[in-house]
Amino acid sequence: MTLASVVAMAMFVGVVVYALFAGADFGSGFYDLTAGFDERGSEIRTLVDSSIGPVWEANHVWLIYILVMWWTGFPTTFAAATTTLFIPLLLALAGIVLRGATFAFRKYSETFAQARLFGAIFAASSVITPFFLGAAAGAIASGRVPAGGYGDLIGSWINPTSMVGGCLAATTCVFLAGVFLTADAARAGSTALAERLRIRTLAVGVATGVVVFAGLYPVAHDAPTLSHGLRTAASPLLALAAVAGAATLALLYRRKYSPARVSAVVAVGSVVTGWGVGQYPWLLVDQVTINDAAGADSTLVGLLIVVGLAGVIVLPALTYLFRLTQQWNRA
C-alpha cells in the first residue's frame, strides 16, 4: 500500500459520502418535480424542505473536498480531466449553483408565484446535476480522458459508459431520496403521504436495479478495463449491491422503513465503491495509475494530516448538529 493509494482512498471516501449524502438531496428534487400542483404536491414539497433543511449545504463541502484532494494530490490528472470534461463539469456546476441558490430563495419566498418559480428551477437542476457528474465519471472509467488533457470535448462524455454512468447516478439518487423521504413521512405520522411515496420508490427501485445491472452489458464492450475489474475484484461488492437492493425493495414492500434506509445506503454505497475497486489501480483508466499520478510525498503527507484533523474536529461537531436537529424534529 503506497502513500498515494492511501490518499486516493481518502479521496474516494469523499466520493462515496458525497454520492450518499448529496445523492439523497439531489434525488429529492425528483419527487419535488413530480409532486403535482395541487394540495398533495405541497405536502411532498414541505416534506422535501424539512428533510433537506439542516444539512443540504454541508454536502457541497464533500465535493470541494474531492476537488481539493484531487488537484493537490494528483494535479496533472485533475488538469487532464477539467480540460477534457469541460462541458459536463460546467453543466453539473451550473446545476449545483442554481439548485443551491433557488432552494434558499424558495424558503424565503413571499408569494406563491415566487416559490413556484424557484421551486421548479431547484427541482429540475437537482435531477440534471447528478447525471452530468455520472457522465464525467463514465468518461474517466472508460479511458476517454487522455493523460495530457484536452481530450475529445464531446465524445468523451457522450458514449455508452458515460450514459450508463449518468443514468446510474441520477437513478440511485432518486432511489435513495425516495427511501429517506418515505421513512421521514412515516415517522412524522403522515401515513397517506408515506404510502404514495412508498409506491413511487418501489417503482424507482426496480428501475434503478435494471439500470445498474443492464448497464453492465454496454460497459463490457465499451470499457473493457473497468469491466474486467468489475467481474473480478469488485464482483463481491456488486453481489452485495444486488442483495442489499433487493432487501430494500422487500423492506419497503413490508413497510419496514427504518431498516430500508440502511440497506439502501449499503446498496448504493457498494455500487459506487464497486466502481472505485473496479478501476483500481488506474486513476484515469488505461492512462495513468494512482502511483504515477501522485504529487510530491510531502504534500500527500500534508493532505493526510488535514484528513486526520477533519476526523477529530468535524465528526464530533457534525454528530452534535445531527442530534440537535433530530431533537428539533421530534419536538
Partner 1 sequence: MGLGDTFLALASEAGPPGLFPARQQMAVSLGWHIVLACFGVAFPTVIYVMHRRGIVRDDPVALGLAKRWGKVSAVLFAIGAVSGTVLSFEMGLLWPGLMGRFGDVLGLPFAFEGLSFFVEAIFLGIYLYGWDRMPPRRHLAMLIPMGVAGIVGTFCVVSVNAWMNHPAGFAIRDGVVTDINPWRAMFNDGVWFQFLHMWLAAFMVVGLVVSGVYAAGLLRGRTDAHHRLGFTVPFVFGSVAAIAQPIVGHILGMRIADTQPAKLAAFELAETTEGPAPFRLGGLLIDGEVRWALEIPRLGSIIARNSFDRPVPGLDTAPASDWPPVNITHLSFQSMVVIGTLLAAGVVVFWLLRWRGIDLLNNRWFLRFSMIAGPLAILAVELGWVATEVGRQPWTVWQILRTNDAASTNPGLWWSYLGVLVIYLGMTIGAYVVLRSMAKRWRTGETDLPSPYGPPKEETVS
Positions 98 through 137 that interact with partner 1 (CB under 8 A): 98, 100-110, 112, 114-116, 118-119
Compute φ and ψ for 232, nearest 5 degrees.
Answer: -105, -90
According to CB under 8 A, which residues from 144 to 183 bind partner 1? Answer: 149-150, 153
Write down the least CB distance from residue 84 to partner 1, Å. Answer: 10
Which of 3, 89, 207, 266 forms a contact with partner 1 (CB under 8 A)? 89
- Host H or E run for residue 235: helix 235-253
Tell me the Ramachandran region of residue 256: left when phi exceeds 0, alpha when psi lies from -120 to 50, beta otherwise.
Answer: beta
- The correct pick among 3, 9, 33, 83 for binding partner 1 (CB under 8 A) is 83
**Identity of the residue, 86 or 246, whose beta carbon is nearer to partner 1 in the bound complex:** 86
Select from 6, 9, 87, 233 the one that contacts partner 1 (CB under 8 A).
87
**Residue 184, C-alpha cell as written in the block:** 421521514
Q: Which of 203, 214, 216, 324 binds partner 1 (CB under 8 A)?
A: 324
Choose, by CB under 8 A, the member of 5, 9, 13, 46 that binds partner 1. 46
Number of residues that bind partner 1 (CB under 8 A): 82
Q: Is 257 in the site for partner 1 (CB under 8 A)?
A: no
Q: Which residues contact 158 (CB under 8 A, 6 or more apart)?
A: 135
Across the strands, what pairs with 289?
A: 282
CB 329 within 8 A of CB 36: no
Distance (Å) of CA 316 to CA 60, 69, 309:
19, 22, 11
- Provide φ and ψ at 165, rounded to 5°: -60, -45
**Which residue in the set 38, 54, 184, 247 belongs to the binding site for partner 1 (CB under 8 A)?**
54
192 is an interface residue for partner 1 by CB under 8 A:
no
Residue 93 binds to partner 1 (criterion: CB under 8 A): yes
Dihedral in degrees, nearest 10, Cα atoms 166, 73, 225, 218: 0
SS3 (DSSP) at 145: coil
List the interface residues with partner 1, window 23-42 (CB under 8 A). Answer: 41-42
Q: Which of 34, 36, 57, 255 binds partner 1 (CB under 8 A)?
A: 57
